[in-house]
Amino acid sequence: MGNDSNSNWREVDLNVDSLWIIGERDKSGKHANVYHGNFIPQVPDQLIRRYTKEGDTVLELFSGGGTTLFECEKLKRNYIGFDINKQIIDYVRGKMQPSSQIKYEICDCDVADFTEFNQAAINVCNEQGIEKVDFLIAHPPYLDVVKFTQDKRDLSQISDIDTFMSKFVDAMRNGLSFLAKDKYFALVAGDIYKRSEVVPLAFYMMDAVKKNFNVKMKGVIIKNIEGNKGKLGSQDIWKYRALKSDYFLFKHEYIFVFKKMD
C-alpha cells in the first residue's frame, strides 16, 4: 500500500473502482496538454499515490510530454523516464528548470533496445543511488495511429501487429528488470480500428504481459477519454460517421495494474 492509502483511508481520494470517469483534465501546475496522446494527469496521480510513497522512484517507459514526471514532482517521488522523441524531451527538461526537489532524469533512449536501455538505466540508477525502482508505468503508442517521430525505432512507425508486439515485449522486459520484486506496474493502453475492424491492441498487450512475465494481474480499469482533443466540439460529425458506418466511437482506454512476482 502507498503512502496515501495507509493513513486516513476513509477520506483519502483514491479511486478503487474499476471504472474511472474523469470529468475534467487537471490543467494545474506544469500540465499544459501540449502533447497529442498524453495522459490525463489524474491517471498517474492516482497510481503514484496508491502504489508509492514519498522518496520512492517511478520509472516510466514512453514518457512523452512529462505528465508523470510533473506528478512525481508534485508528490515528491523520484523519477526516471525514457523516450525517443528529442523534441519533447527538451520541452519537458525545460519545464523542470530550475532544478526541483526530486531526483529525476529523462533518457533519450530506445526502450526496446536492451543494450541502450540497460546502459542508460544503470547510469541513472547509480546517479540516484538505487538498484531498482518502486513503480513502473508504461504508455506505449497505439500502433501507428499517432506517429510521434520519424525515427525508425519509434514504435509508432510500426504498422504490423506482430512486429509491434515483439518490440513492446522487449521494452517491458527491459523496464521490468529494474522494478523491484513485489512492486506494482501499470500499463495504459487502448484499442484501435484498422482495415474496418477493431483491433483489441490493449488486450493483446495485457495478454503479452501475462504470458511473458511472472506477474499477478491486480486491476483492469476502464477510464473515459471525454476530453480527447480530436473529438472536442465535433461530436455530431463523429456520431454521423459512426451511424453511417458500422462502428462505435472509442471513449475509453484501459489501465492494467500488475504486481511483479520475481
Does position 65 interact with ligand SAM (CB under 6 A)? The reply is yes
Stretch that binds ligand SAM, among 34-42, 45-53, 124-132, 235-243 (CB under 6 A): 34-42
Q: Closest distance between ligand SAM and the C-beta of residue 147, in Å?
A: 9
Q: Which of 105, 154, 183, 201 binds ligand SAM (CB under 6 A)?
A: 154
Q: Closest distance between ligand SAM and the C-beta of residue 142, in Å?
A: 7
Sheet strands (E) in 12-167: 19-20, 57-61, 78-83, 104-108, 133-138
Does position 62 interact with ligand SAM (CB under 6 A)? The reply is yes
Does position 112 interact with ligand SAM (CB under 6 A)? The reply is yes
Q: Which of 139, 183, 223, 260 binds ligand SAM (CB under 6 A)?
A: 139
Q: Which of 85, 136, 202, 204 binds ligand SAM (CB under 6 A)?
A: 85
Task: Please count the residues of the chain.
Answer: 262
Contact partners, residue 132, CB within 8 Å, separation at least 6: 125, 178, 179, 180, 183
Does position 148 interact with ligand SAM (CB under 6 A)? The reply is yes
Stretch that binds ligand SAM, among 9-17, 118-126, 145-153, 247-255 (CB under 6 A): 145-153
Tell me if 145 sits within 8 A of 155, measured CB to CB. Answer: no
Q: Closest distance between ligand SAM and the C-beta of residue 223, in Å?
A: 13
SS3 117: helix
Contact partners, residue 47, CB within 8 Å, separation at least 6: 135, 137, 186, 255, 257
Does position 110 interact with ligand SAM (CB under 6 A)? The reply is yes
Provide the grid cell at 126: 547509480
DSSP string, 9-55: TTT-----SSEE---S----TT----STTPPPTHHHHHHHHHH--TT
Binding to ligand SAM by CB under 6 A, coded x per residue (else -) over 155-174, reads: xx------------------
Q: Closest CB to ligand SAM belongs to which residue?
A: 64
SS3 115: helix
Cβ closest to ligand SAM, residue 71 vs residue 134? 71
Phi and psi at 3, nearest 5°, equal -55, -55
**Does a cis peptide bond (omega within 30 degrees of 0) precede residue 98?**
yes
Q: Which residues form the interface with ligand SAM (CB under 6 A)? A: 35, 37-39, 62, 64-65, 67, 82-85, 88, 110-112, 139-141, 148-149, 153-156
